[in-house]
Amino acid sequence: MQTLIWALIVLDGLLLAAFVIFIGRLRRVWGTVRSIEDIEKLLDPIQDFLDAAGRTGTEMEQNLAERRRIMARLLAELDEKAAELRQLIIAAEAAGTGRAPAPIAAAAASERPSLPTSHQRVLDLAEQGRNVEQIAAELAIPRGEVQLILDLNRKF
């Protein structure tokens, strides 16, 4: 406990010393100021720093926007690959059982097959004029899956 108290006393002393040094330097700076031009000379480096910080911030925003575009493109590609993988799994399962995949068999059995609720919701939202991204966001499913459902609906 005593160690903690001594540490706090030393820390307070360091803070007091830093404050005294700061006040001394501030007095020295204000002692040299005799006119508006002197103040402007003191403010010029600060303004340069602020300008540089603004440029850096703008560059960072542009960099971030570019990274977001890249991430969106990669996510779309990943969604497409996931949809392709689902189709391959369906085809592999169908090949293993010797029967047509369920969506194809259902389409052949009737004019308009009975769709799962999630597929029907995708079609309903598309009929309301929503695009693939909006449907995917609202139903919390990958864009590739939404596109696949819409494409299959057009074919069958």
Question: How do the domains of the chain map onto residue ranges?
Answer: 38-155
Residue 81 has pLDDT above 50, yes or no: yes
Residue 100 has pLDDT above 60, yes or no: no
Residue 141 has pLDDT above 50, yes or no: yes
Phi first, then psi, for residue 34 (nearest 5°) are -120, -15
Average pLDDT for 65-70? 86
Instruction: Say what the pLDDT of residue 104 is.
Output: 47
SS (H, E, C) 101-154: CHHHHHHHHCCCCCCCHHHHHHHHHHHCCCCHHHHHHHHCCCHHHHHHHHHHHH
Instruction: Say what the pLDDT of residue 129 is.
Output: 92
Nearest CA to 46 out of 54, 57, 36, 58 is that of 54
Q: For tokens 């909006």, name the residue.
A: 134
Q: How confident is the model at residue 33 (pLDDT cuts 50, 70, 90)?
A: low
Average pLDDT for 23-39? 73
Q: Which pTM does this prediction carry? A: 0.37
**What whole-number distance in Å separates Cα of residue 9 and Cα of residue 15?**
10
Exposed/middle/buried for residue 144 (C-beta within 10 Å: 0-12, 13-18, 19+):
buried
Task: Dump pLDDT digits (tens) for 15-29.
Answer: 999 988 888 887 777
Q: For tokens 């005799």, name the residue.
A: 34
